[in-house]
Amino acid sequence: MSYKFKVSEHHDGRRLDKVIRSLWPALPLGAFMKNIRKGLVRIDGRKAKCSTLLMEGQEIYVPWEEPPVRNDQATRKELESIYRDEYLWIVNKPAGLLSQPSVKGDDSVLSRSWADTSLLHKDFRPALVNRLDRNTSGMIILALNGSALRELQNALREGRIKKGYLALVCGEIPENGRINDPLLKDPADNIVRVDPGGRPALTLFRRVFSDGRFSLVELELVTGRSHQARVHLSHAGYPVLGDRKYGNETENRYWWKHGVKRPLLHAFELSFSGMAGNVGILSTTRFKAPLPEDMLLFFNGRSWGELGII
**Catalytic positions:** 133
Distance of CA 134 to the CA centre of its chain: 10
Amino acid at 113: S
Q: Which residues of 175-206 are buried (b: 16+ CB within 10 A; e: fewer)?
A: eeeebebbbbbeeeeeebbbeeebeebbbebe
Residues 6+ apart with CB under 8 A from 263: 135, 136, 167, 230, 240, 241, 242, 243, 244, 247
What distance in Å separates the CA atoms of residue 299 and residue 310, rounded to the nearest whole number? 9
Contact partners, residue 260, CB within 8 Å, separation at least 6:
241, 242, 252, 294, 298
In angstroms, the CA 231 to CA 132 distance is 15
Pairing, β 59-62 against β 191-194: unpaired
Q: Are 284 and 160 in contact (CB under 8 A)?
A: no
Sheet strands side by side (includes 46-47): 3-6, 59-62, 42-43, 46-47
List all residues 6 or more positions away from 154 whose beta carbon is below 8 Å from its beta carbon. none
